[in-house]
Structure 1
Amino acid sequence: MLASIEEQSNHHVATFKRPLPHAIEVVWAAITNNDKLQKWMSNLEIIDLRNNGKMHFNMNDGTDAYETIGITDYAENETLEFDWGTDTVRFELSSTDEGTLLLLEETLQALTEHTPKDLAGWHICLDLLADLLDGQERLTFPMESWQQRFHDYKDLLDSVK
């Protein structure tokens, strides 16, 4: 299911909802332990996991180049929020009878030509996360699936504007 996009005063919020049949601690570990995190989002690396901590967005281009990302909200097994350029990304976990509900919210300060690319990327990364939790690690990024999602999010954003 595609993310929903809502306008809120002077920005938009894209919300991805993923029910996962796994305990919160298992999902949290996949989001916050680098050995697991980098299997579904290879660019991210947690450096200092705490409120006001930091992460790296690694370029993965062979140069060891990275951008530092600030962690803006943190509560173990519940919340991880961080800067994402001029935007913010927030993971929230809550227990359900079937496991965990994962919400990923990206607060978008402006809708740009890059926005559908970013949303398609998060969508595919969440698919990779779900696969990893189910014991199916993908070794390559599914570019064909990303391209389809890019077009889906482009259409969705055109209807929002």
Structure 2
Amino acid sequence: MLASITQAENGYSVRFERNLKHAVESVWSMLTDNEKLAQWFPELHVADLREGGLIKFDMQNGQFEEMAITRLKALSVLEFTWAEDIVRFELDAEPEGCRLVLIEKLTQITAHTPRDIAGWDVCLDVIEALLDGNTIASRKDVWKMKYDKYVQAFENLPQA
């Protein structure tokens, strides 16, 4: 299922939702423990896990982008800047595990947006697979399939 994409006050909001059969603590550690984070998004590194702290993005060229943690509630909310945008993870306990929501607030849609959104979608698939003790044979193949769908989804958005 694709993320929902809606117009928001200052841009757009992209919302992913996954119901996982794992405890909030297990999912939270995938988002905040650098060893586990590296398994699904190796370019990200939590440098200072606190509100006002930092997450670093390795540009793979010796440079790092610093992203400020704007909201943090342990085991519940992790929100940080992503260039001009905001990325927010929310976790809620459920009887069979937890609900993971990822919201990216986009200030604008660019030609690169479908790539990024397909990437987040695959990242969530990888988190779930890892928690389930599985792997995804070809992340690139899964990404390509999702990318094509997101290109279409963004093209079909009403023009502001």
Question: TM-score, normalization: structure 2?
Answer: 0.94
Q: How far apart are the structure 1 equivalents of 2:50 and 2:58?
A: 19
1:7 corresponds to: 7
Stretches of structure 2 lacking an aligned partner (at least 5 in a row):
none
Deviation at 1:148, TM superposition (A): 1.1
Q: How far apart are the structure 2 equivalents of 1:127 and 1:84?
A: 20
2:140 corresponds to: 143
Judged with a 3 Å threshold, the aligned counterparts in structure 2 of structure 1 residues 88 and 141 are, in CA distance, closer, same or farther, namely: farther
1:125-136 → structure 2 map (5 Å cutoff): 125-136=123-134
Determine helix, strand or coil for the equivalent of 2:22: coil
Q: How far apart are the structure 2 equivalents of 1:15 and 1:86?
A: 17
Determine helix, strand or coil for the equivalent of 1:112: coil
Q: How far apart are the structure 2 equivalents of 1:141 and 1:125?
A: 12
Q: How far apart are the structure 1 equivalents of 2:82 and 2:69?
A: 10
Q: How far apart are the structure 1 equivalents of 2:130 and 2:83?
A: 27
Runs of 4+ in structure 1 off by over 3 angstroms are: none
Is this contact kept in 2: 1:39–1:137, CA < 8 A? no
Which of 79, 82, 85 aligns to 1:84? It is 82
- Between the two proteins, the alignment pairs up a number of residues equal to 158
Percent identity for Structure 1 against Structure 2: 39
1:65-80 → structure 2 map (5 Å cutoff): 65-80=63-78
Deviation at 1:141, TM superposition (A): 5.9
Is this contact kept in 2: 1:22–1:98, CA < 8 A? yes
Q: How far apart are the structure 2 equivalents of 1:117 and 1:102?
A: 21
Q: How far apart are the structure 2 equivalents of 1:23 and 1:65?
A: 35
Deviation at 1:34, TM superposition (A): 0.3
Confirm or deny that 1:46 pairs with 2:43. no
Deviation at 1:96, TM superposition (A): 0.9
1:94 corresponds to: 92
- 1:127-161 Cα offsets, whole Å, 9 max, x none, are 111111111245x8611111111110011111113
Stretches of structure 1 lacking an aligned partner (at least 5 in a row):
none
Q: How far apart are the structure 1 equivalents of 2:92 and 2:139?
A: 28
Q: How far apart are the structure 2 equivalents of 1:134 and 1:151?
A: 27
Letter in 2 for 1:42: P
Confirm or deny that 1:109 pairs with 2:107. yes
